[in-house]
Structure 1
Amino acid sequence: MVQAVIVRQRVADLTRTSYGRLLAVLAAPTRDITAAEDALADAIERALARWPDEGIPANPEGWILTVARNRLRDLWKSSAHRLTGPLDETQHAPVALDDDTSPIPDRRLELMLVCAHPAIAENVRTPLMLQTVLGVEAAAIADAFMVQRATMAQRLVRAKRRIRTAGIPFVLPERANLAERLPAVLEAVYGAYAIDWQASEAPIDSLSAEAMHLSLVVAELLPDEPEALGLAALMCLSESRRPARRSADGAFVPLGEQDPARWDRALIERGETMLRRAHQFGAPGRFQYEAAIQSAHCARAVTGRVDGHALQKLHRALLRTAPSLGAAVASAAVHGEVDGPEAGLRALGAITDPAVERFQPAWSTRAHLLAAAGRTEEAVAAYRRAIDLAPHPSVAEYLLRRMRSAHG
């Protein structure tokens, strides 16, 4: 029983950290992502069944990859797959479990670029990357994109079928084609990081870590792409504050109340270095502006304060470059800090997106600004709405404390 529990935990950890790498390697020869997913699922089931008795192998990733490859070989040899055309039997010959001990190559970037191919519908490129490369469940993706779960599932199935039928190769595209696909790749990495924080009360550390790792891989492979560098900088600067986001008793701590001494200085310096490199190209973009905003906040660790006017300028630049509801609300919040709560409320009221009425950060911002303006009754009402929409209990508890403080 104890061994079975240990195996389940080890397989769960391996699935979280290695799923995308294994899937990319399995799918590359045939471009059949669905078949690779099925083979990988079968190999994981066999590991759960056999490892409690046989013991966890020295190279568990290699074991699972080998079992999955042999499962695919059997599938390719079936009569159903012969109808689609024969494959090279020498390349896909069965492999003994003890033979596959070499390091597994990381082909996730190629898989992401396959998902971003022009032949794939634009509205499914990022969701497809999130599922295949980072292992995010289709339901979580649908919720994040505010799409019906059945609709998202159908889109993902069609996209995978398109990759196989179009024969899209798992290779790095030519430079001219790379620029066309890169934005979707960066968006997927960024989306994985955001979904991590939306997914549960306790963030999925491995998903954030994988998103940051992929951002660094892309920045290393494309060192002259300023937005790739900007995303990597954004990831490092944001992740540097993870230790301070919760108090010792697990309570939510907003950015303005965090203790900078708990921030990871090494990650901050790494992010700053990448941001400086991106700035040298003189081609600012969304992720560079977002990274610069995080850099302005991180400056509090050195100067003890945040330059509100610089932050205000950066938010305005972000809104011009990549307008979004989140950016507009954040800009209004900074506006309120610099020019006073009434100015912030006017900026918030100027947002025309109808989704603002259901956007929790907008209600939190409105409540804080109303409380700062001394409009207590309105602030309490806004806090109640923000609490109803809060994504996590810890956030709701923080807002409840603020509401009680505002009410006196």
Structure 2
Amino acid sequence: MNAHEAIERIYREEYGRVVASLVRRFGDIDIAEEAAGEALLVAMERWPEDGVPPNPGGWLTTTAGRRAIDRIRRESHRDAKHQAALMIEDDTPHEPTGIVEDDRLRLIFTCCHPALAPEVRVALTLRLLGGLTVAEIAQAFLVPETTMAQRITRAKKKIKDANIPYRVPAPEDLTARLGGVLAVVYLVFNEGYLASSSGAPIREELTAEAIRLGRILRTLLPDEPEVAGLLALMLLTEARRRTRVAGGELIPLHEQDRGGWDRELIAEGHALVRECLARNRPGQYQLLAAVNAVHTDAPAAGDTDWSQIAALYGQLYAIAPTPIVALNRAVAVAELDGPEVALAEVDRLQLTTYHAWHATRADLLRRLGRSAEARAAYDAAISATENEAERAYLSRRRGSLAP
């Protein structure tokens, strides 16, 4: 990794904290984003010669804050603007943080404002807090990049035009925004678990940050079962991370060395799943956590209780009838009723922009001995992902097909 790549990695790790701090300080998304970007450029110039500072996050926040003040001064020559900029420079304490003390989590709650459409809240917060690119967010939502860019731009304009304050909701209002907050945390985790862009196949800084936020939410809202469910889901998924990539190639679940799974995380995740079952208020994250509990409970891939997994996905589809859920259920159906039955279900979904749909079709066609069709499906899956480890796995599977 060269110096610039290292700086970019540090920047992506710190981006959310820098933006959160600037938004709380200046109350303007555009200023925060532009100043954070300018701070990166300064780091690119100075750090290769001066070395990375002991506290790179603090350095970036300070530099970005100065750039933000410069922009405020440039935008107007009026005395009031100059005075405002001078006031911003003082060292008086910020207003009380209220019930949510973590800067990044506070901004997530703030951006999940009910005046914005749910998918827009999530997309905007992923951009600001997760440091995800518009392309990465678009892929998570299965929409074109231009469409997602327009959504984010409109959301920022609506916040500005409607004077929506950057304020943490009152304790009694937290639950109303919780769904959007959980969606953001989960999507940040997913992007870290299987990065959609080129580069490292797994972005550990994102999975670690999502789990950190999940633990804070758990402390903040201990009686919300979906919070416990999301934390359990992330822990059980993270427990398998060390075995997911080998030799630059993605290792699917059934091929992973289960002896390399993190048993402490699995035990913690299973305990949370049992707590959710006792509450008996099922939600999507609890059901997904239960699926992962079944997988991590099996000593070997052949011991997996696929009937239970299919039933859990059936329950999940009843409350969240998305094509992604249907696709995952079809994988379980293939183990129970055979690849032909599952392929019929998969083909009905027509998720033509989603790499996992093509990869699932390819595997089912391979199992049916339809090599030419499987080869075409593998090609489509390879074209639909930029994750190099996943592309390597798919290419190997394609190469193993009978002529």
The SS at the match of 2:25 is coil
| Kept after mapping to 1: 8 A contact 2:142/2:354 | no
Alpha-carbon distance between aligned partners in 2 of 1:405 and 1:56, rounded to the nearest angstrom: 46
Q: Give the fraction of aligned pairs with identical amino acids, expressed as a percent.
A: 35
Per the alignment, residue 122 of structure 2 pairs with: 126
Q: Quick one: structure 1 residues 127 and 200, their matched pair in 2 at CA, closer, same or farther if it must change by over 3 Å?
A: same
Query: In the alignment, is residue 216 of structure 1 matched against residue 215 of structure 2?
Result: yes
CA shift digits 1:133-156 (9 cap, x unpaired): 011112322343343433432332
CA shift digits 1:240-295 (9 cap, x unpaired): 11111123x23332111111011111221222233233333321111111111111
Q: Quick one: structure 1 residues 342 and 11, their matched pair in 2 at CA, closer, same or farther if it must change by over 3 Å?
A: closer
Alpha-carbon distance between aligned partners in 2 of 1:345 and 1:148, rounded to the nearest angstrom: 26
Alpha-carbon distance between aligned partners in 1 of 2:157 and 2:135, rounded to the nearest angstrom: 19
Per the alignment, residue 95 of structure 2 pairs with: none
Instruction: Return the match for 1:64 from 60, 63, 68.
Output: 60
Per the alignment, residue 356 of structure 2 pairs with: 361
Q: Quick one: structure 1 residues 345 and 46, their matched pair in 2 at CA, closer, same or farther if it must change by over 3 Å?
A: closer
Structure 1 gaps, min length 5: 96-104
Instruction: Return the match for 1:334 from 323, 332, 336.
Output: 332
TM-score by length of 2: 0.84
Query: In the alignment, is residue 205 of structure 1 matched against residue 204 of structure 2?
Result: yes
Query: In the alignment, is residue 315 of structure 1 matched against residue 310 of structure 2?
Result: no
Matched to 2:59, the amino acid is: W
| Kept after mapping to 2: 8 A contact 1:75/1:81 | no
Deviates more, 1:129-138 or 1:302-311: 302-311
Per the alignment, residue 256 of structure 1 pairs with: 254
Alpha-carbon distance between aligned partners in 1 of 2:351 and 2:9, rounded to the nearest angstrom: 38
Per the alignment, residue 89 of structure 2 pairs with: 93
Instruction: Return the match for 1:187 from 179, 183, 208.
Output: 183
Q: Quick one: structure 1 residues 141 and 369, their matched pair in 2 at CA, closer, same or farther if it must change by over 3 Å?
A: closer
Per the alignment, residue 136 of structure 1 pairs with: 132
Per the alignment, residue 98 of structure 1 pairs with: none
**Per-residue deviation at 1:111?**
1.0
Per the alignment, residue 96 of structure 2 pairs with: none
Q: Quick one: structure 1 residues 55 and 244, their matched pair in 2 at CA, closer, same or farther if it must change by over 3 Å?
A: closer
CA shift digits 1:318-341 (9 cap, x unpaired): 111212222212212211212333
Q: Quick one: structure 1 residues 35 and 272, their matched pair in 2 at CA, closer, same or farther if it must change by over 3 Å?
A: same
Q: Quick one: structure 1 residues 175 and 302, their matched pair in 2 at CA, closer, same or farther if it must change by over 3 Å?
A: farther
Alpha-carbon distance between aligned partners in 2 of 1:326 and 1:191, rounded to the nearest angstrom: 14
Q: Quick one: structure 1 residues 297 and 69, their matched pair in 2 at CA, closer, same or farther if it must change by over 3 Å?
A: same
Query: In the alignment, is residue 389 of structure 1 matched against residue 381 of structure 2?
Result: yes
**Per-residue deviation at 1:158?**
2.9
Alpha-carbon distance between aligned partners in 1 of 2:26 and 2:73, rounded to the nearest angstrom: 13
Structure 2 gaps, min length 5: 92-100
**Per-residue deviation at 1:343?**
3.7
The SS at the match of 2:303 is coil
The count of aligned residue pairs is 388
CA shift digits 1:193-216 (9 cap, x unpaired): 333422236232322322232223
The SS at the match of 1:298 is helix
**Per-residue deviation at 1:405?**
5.2
Q: Quick one: structure 1 residues 45 and 304, their matched pair in 2 at CA, closer, same or farther if it must change by over 3 Å?
A: same
